[in-house]
Amino acid sequence: MRTIALVAHDNKKDDIVEWCKFNEGTLSQYCLYATGTTGNRIIESTGLEINLLKSGPHGGDMQLGALIADEKLDCLIFFWDPLESQPHDVDVKALLRVAVLYNIPTACNRATANMIISSPLFKSHS
């Protein structure tokens, strides 16, 4: 089963919750991980089962990076805020770096997230 990580910065949490609600049926077919605050918001709004990690600033981004490095994550959906500086920018950059290093499909917005989860290439390995 494919594994998807869901992450969003504070100003993008509403966006990822709406995206997850719209794609609930599709996402329910996958094993989901999420950083703490984002994951709790998604769980409250959907019926999705999510493996919760720590919140991003408290190590959740690094936990996701470890899952990628251990080849236990197939896709990263990370709605990050390009207009807001984050106190844990170093962790965010490290997460994006390891996702690229391990060739993990990474979506930073709704359009790309939709393309990834609707792609026959992604579904063919479920």
Write down the pLDDT at residue 93: 87
Domains held by the chain: number: 1
74 flagged as catalytic: no
Task: Give residue-wise pLDDT tens across range 56-91.
Answer: 888 999 999 999 999 999 999 999 877 676 666 777
**Residue span of the structural domain in which 52 resides:** 3-118
- Please report whether residue 123 resides in a domain: no
CATH number at residue 98: 3.40.50.1380
Q: For the full predicted model, state whether its pTM sits above 0.85.
A: yes
With respect to residue 46, please indicate whether it lies within any of the assigned structural domains.
Answer: yes
In sign, the C-alpha dihedral spanning 39, 74, 68, 96 is negative
User: Domain for residue 103, yes or no?
Assistant: yes
**Residue 14, token pair as written in the block:** 């509403």
Q: Report the C-alpha gap between 126 and 123 in whole angstroms.
A: 5
57 located within any domain? yes
From the list 10, 61, 70, 89, the catalytic residue is: 61
Tokens of 39: 């994951």
